[in-house]
Amino acid sequence: MGVRTVSKLPRIIAALAVTGIALASCSSPDDSSKTDVGAGKGPVKDPTSPVSVTFSSWVGGDPTMKKLAAEFHKSHPNITIRFQNVSADNASQKLTTQIAGGDPPDVAYIDASATSDFASRQSLVNLDNYIRRSKVVKAADYVPAFKDFVTYDKHLWGLPIDGESTGLFYRTDLFEQAGIPAPPKTWDEFLSAAQKLTVPARKQYGYEVFAPEAAYYWYPWLYQAGGDLLGKGNKILFNSPQAKKAANFYVGLAKYSPPDYLNSNSYDGRVAFAQGQVGMYMAGSWFAGTLNSEYPKIAGKWAAAPLPNGPAGCKTTIAGDSLVMLAGTKQADAAWLWMEYLSTPDNVALWTYKSANGTELPPLTPLLDSPDLVKEKPILKGFAELMKCGVSSNVPTPKFPRVEQELNKELGKAFYGNQTAEQALDNAAKAAETILEQ
C-alpha cells in the first residue's frame, strides 16, 4: 500500500504548511462556506448529466482507493472521480496555493488537524446540512477526539476517514537479550528498559528522540504528566510544573538515543528500529504496516504495546485524516456523494484495516468496538484500546504551528545539552507569548 497518513512523515510539516502561504488570503472564491449549501430534505440525489469531481490526495495511487473510485462510478454512473495526486509532505501547502489561486479541488483528503484552520479561513463547506440529510453519515458515531478535529465554531467541516493512536513498538529479541520480561507499563519501567537496552559499544540504544520533531513526540509524556498546551484565551500551559516534569523525563531519554538520528526525523528513524539499533520506538499503528511491507525479515522480532502510564494515567496522542469539501465547488452534491460513499462503515473498514497492509484505526466508534477489528488485525488491539484515552493535540489557533516551531527548537537544544528541559519550556513560552499576541 502507498503512504496513507501524514504520520508516516512528520505531521508537523502539514500543519506548518497551512499557515506557511499567507492563509489570510485563502478565503473562498465565492461564499459557498455558508450554511445553506446542502440544504434540503432527504438523501442527496445523483446528477442527471455527467459531472466530474476532482479529489486531491496523496492516496490516489493506492489500490484500495482506486477500487473504491471504480465501484463508486458503477453505482453513480454520472459522477467520475478525477484524482489530483499530491505528495503527503506538501499536501496542505498545495491546497493552500490552489485556494489562493481560486482553483481548489472539489474534495480533498487532508491531515485532520488542518481542518479547523482551513475552516477558519472560509475555505471549506459547512457539512451540517449534508450530514443531517444522510442515512449513512452519523455525527454521533465518530470518536469524540476525531470529531473535535473537524469541528470549528460548533459546525462540522470534515469527515474523519482514518486514524491512529500513538503506541510503543519494541524489539522482542532485544528485550529478551536484555532480560526485560515485558513492555514497560510505567515511566520508571520505561527508563529502566531504555538503560538496559543501551549498549553504545554495539551501537544499540534504548529509544529514539528526534530534535526536528521534539515537540510532537513530547506531547504524550506531557498529557501523561497531567499537563496541556494552551488554556482558555490561549493561556500558555506548556511550562507548568506538570509540563516541566514531562520535559525532564523526555529530554533525559536523549542519552539512550542513537546520536546519528538525533537530527533526523521519525520516518527515517524507522530504519534504526528495523536494523535492531533501537529497542523502543514511538509511533502510530501505521508503523505495523510499514514493518510488514518494508521489513518482512524481522517478522516475529517485534511487537506493539500501549505507552506506559504516567502520573495522570493513560494518555496518548491521536492523529488521522479527513475528507473536506472546498468552498467554491460547482459540484457540491456530487462531491458529497463521493465523501458519503467513502464514509460508509464498510468502506471505512476496508480503507483502514481490512486491506492487505492496512493497519490504521477507523474513527468510528461502532467499528472500534467491533470484534471484527481485532480478528482482522490482532496488532491493532492495543491501539484501539488507547483510543479511549486519546488526546487531540489540535490547538484551535492558526498561530500554533509557529509556537510548535519554538518548542521544537528549544527542546532540540535541550537534547544536545545546551540548556535544561525547564529552560527550554520557559524560552518557548516567552516566544509563544509574542506570537500569540500578534
283: left (phi over 0), alpha (psi -120 to 50) or beta: beta
Whether 301 and 426 share a structural domain: yes
Q: What whole-number distance in Å separates Cα of residue 79 and Cα of residue 252?
A: 55
Which of 63-72, 385-394, 404-413 is the least confident region? Answer: 385-394
Q: Is residue 259 a part of any domain in this protein?
A: yes
Write the single-letter amino acid at 215.
A
| Res 1 pLDDT > 60 | no
Please give the angle made by the CA atoms of 118, 139 and 374, to the nearest 5 degrees: 105
For the chain, the residue count is 438
Give dist(CA 83, CA 108) in Å, integer.
Answer: 10
Under DSSP, the state recorded for 233 is G
Residues 342 and 222 in one domain: no
Residue given cell 482553483 in the structure block: 103
Per-residue pLDDT reduced to its tens digit, 170-206: 999 999 999 999 999 999 999 999 999 999 999 999 9
Instruction: Give the pLDDT confidence score for residue 56 in this predicted structure.
Output: 98
Mean pLDDT, all residues of the chain:
91
> Is the C-alpha dihedral spanning 231, 234, 239, 245 positive or negative?
positive
Does the pLDDT of residue 20 top 80, yes or no? no
Predicted pLDDT of residue 26: 47
The DSSP secondary-structure symbol of 106 reads S
Q: Is 418 exposed, middle or buried (0-12, 13-18, 19+ CB in 10 A)?
A: exposed
Whole-angstrom CA distances from 274 to 264, 289, 293, 297 are 16, 13, 12, 9
Domain membership flag for residue 39: no
Same domain, 203 and 292: yes
Give me the residue label for grid cell 482507493: 65
Neighbours of 374 (CB within 10 A): 15
Number of C-beta neighbours around residue 373 at 10 A: 21
Residue 240 shares a structural domain with residue 147: no
Domain span at 67: 51-163+319-392
- For residue 422, pLDDT beyond 80: yes
- Tens digits of residue pLDDT in 290-349: 999 999 999 999 999 999 999 999 999 999 999 999 999 999 999 999 999 999 999 999
427 and 293 share one domain:
yes
Residue 130 amino acid letter: Y
Residue 29 carries which DSSP code?
S
Number of domains, the chain: 2
Would 13 be classed as within a structural domain?
no
Same domain, 96 and 155: yes
